[in-house]
Amino acid sequence: MMNNQNSGRQQHGILKTAIVGVVAGLIGGGASYVALDQINNANMNNNAQTSISSSSAKTSRNSAKTSGTMTPAYNDVKGAVVSVINMKRQTNSSNSLFDFFGDYDNDNKGKGKLQTYSEGSGVIYTKSGNKGYIVTNNHVVSGSDKVQVMLSNGKTVNARIIGTDATTDLAVLSIDSSYVTQTAEFGDSKSLQAGQTVIAVGSPLGSEYASTVTQGIISAPARSITTSSANQQTVIQTDAAINPGNSGGALVNSAGQVIGINSMKLSQSSDGTSVEGMGFAIPSNEVVTIVNQLVKKGKIVRPQLGVKVIALQGIPSSYRNHLNIKSNLKNGIYVDSVTKHSAAAIAGVKAGDVIIKVDNKAVSDVASLHSILYNHKVGDNVNLTVNRNGKEINLRVKLQSD
């Protein structure tokens, strides 16, 4: 998110991170060399047939209109990615430029003028009835007195907040469906592989650079992190560069499907060392689960196990021995600690257990665990299969509220 008032000092995120949108390195570099080679080849062919003045210049008729392989993917989403404008009411009465250029909220005249406080990005993912629905980050719209959306054609319209969830940093907005010309399709984030190419589409530095497309790769398809609010989250890690204003934008695969919502970056390590190329996006499978609940209920009521966990995929092999994790375990979720009097503690879950199944469904990352739990209600019973010192144990857990 780009904060126009406090861009230098208001940074939020994980492990000393700045929560801003994920983008990747700019596409371009090699494309110009390809074009030059084509022109040179064309000129050589022309010289073999006709004499051309040394002052003449030509453009090859054989030049490809789209030399980048990700261009079709960008075209599949560019009309669905919008800029999200967070507006706040000014309460001071001093004469300033905002007295002249601020906007009044018609429903709250006399309570202060509105001005743009920050900007982010969003993705129109469906159109239903007279509404178009947009997913963005919760921190993009947090604290707003009014939200507006700038469409890909440059038109700015009012938006309504349908629901927000601070835990996953997701929010859903709605606009009049008559403004929707394109919607994005969600892909399966569980199918992601490290090294595959992705693009990010959003508004780095705000709406002035709306519809910017950048490119990167998947660095890790499922990375477990702990946010500043001590929440655990499984995210997609990418080597993409981060720019304020891209929060809430789309991370897109080569098929033109949204496989993540850009949300965070690691800006520096715990010792203050600057970090580049470590950005994070919320996996699309979790996004779909959350936005559907937000549209239906306006909020998320979560059943909880009461455990602190990390996916085995995120534990280095050398450290697995230290944790006494059996070498034959390839997938599962390691239980680091169990909260006293929690649902898990009552059911007999212990630190050091590895959860391998929930309701007989295999779990390999925290997102898959969340997905299964969110299909239950508080008070429901779930069956956990854990590996404890090499033995599988079945436990019945009665879910509690968060």
Report the C-alpha gap between 138 and 171 in whole angstroms.
5
Is residue 12 annotated as part of the catalytic site, yes or no?
A: no
Distance CA 120, CA 136 (A): 8
Look at residues 129, 202, 133 and name the one whose alpha carbon lies nearest to residue 173: 133
Determine the Cα–Cα distance for residues 103 and 83; give it in Å rounded to an integer. Answer: 18
Active-site residue among 76, 165, 169, 239? 169
Comparing CA positions, the residue from 397, 396, 386, 402 lying closest to residue 335 is 386
Which of 372, 399, 394 shows the shortest CA–CA distance to 383? 394
Q: Is 247 one of the catalytic residues?
A: yes
Is residue 383 within 8 Å of residue 360, measured between CB atoms?
yes
Distance CA 12, CA 247 (A): 12
Spatial CB neighbours of 380, under 8 Å, sequence gap ≥ 6: 303, 398, 399
Cβ atoms of 208 and 4 within 8 Å: the answer is no
**Contacts by 5-12, CB closer than 8 A, 24 or more apart:** 5/117, 5/118, 7/244, 11/267, 12/139, 12/228
For Cα atoms 232, 237, 241, give the angle at the middle one, nearest 5 degrees: 125
Catalytic pick among 118, 203, 224, 247: 247
Beta pairing class for 113-128 and 131-136: antiparallel
The owner of tokens 């919008």 is 82
Question: Cα-flanking dihedrals φ and ψ of residue 228, to 5°?
Answer: -65, -25
> Is 169 marked active-site?
yes
- 83, 121, 139, 284: which one is catalytic? 139
Catalytic center residues: 139, 169, 247
